[in-house]
A and B are shown apart, each in its own frame.
Chain A
Amino acid sequence: MLDKNAIGRASPPTLNEVEKGAIRRFAEAIGDYNPIYYDEEYARASGYPTIVAPPTFPASFHSAADLRELLGVGIKSLLHAEQGFDYERPIFAGDRIYVSTRVSDVFERPNMSGKMDIAVIEDEGRDEEGNLVFRARRTLVVRAAKENV
Chain B
Amino acid sequence: MPARKLYFESIRVGDELPALAKAPVDRVQLSRYAGASGDYNPVHVDELYAKSVGMPSVYAPGMLVMGMLGQLISDWARGGQLRRYNVRFIKMVWPGDTVVCKGRVSDRHGSGGRYFVEIDLWAENQKGELVMKGGSQIQLFYSLEDENRQRSGQSPIVVEVPRESLVVPAPQTATPEAASSAPSVPSAPEEEDDEDEDSDEPRTGASSKKTAPREKPAAKTASLPVAKKAKK
Contacts and interface: CB of A to CB of B under 8 A. Distances in A.
Contacts of B22: 31
Majority-rule SS of A interface residues:
mixed
Contact of A45 (B2, B37, B66): B2
B52 to A, nearest CB: 12
Nearest to B83: A87
A60 interface: yes
Interface residues of A, number: 33
Nearest to A32: B71
Interface in B140-193: 151
B84 A56 contact: no
Contact of A54 (B35, B61, B70, B151): B70
B32 interface: yes
A119 to B, nearest CB: 15
B36 A60 contact: yes
Contact of B67 (A56, A77, A84): A56
A31 B154 CA distance: 38
Interface string B10-34: 0000000000001100000100110
Interface string B128-144: 00000000000000000
A55 B85 contact: yes
Nearest to B61: A80
B37 A29 contact: yes
A5 interface: no
B82 A87 contact: yes
B48 interface: no
B4 to A, nearest CB: 11
Given A29-B64, A34-B74, 7 more contacts: A55-B73, A59-B39, A59-B66, A80-B89, A83-B62, A84-B86, A85-B85
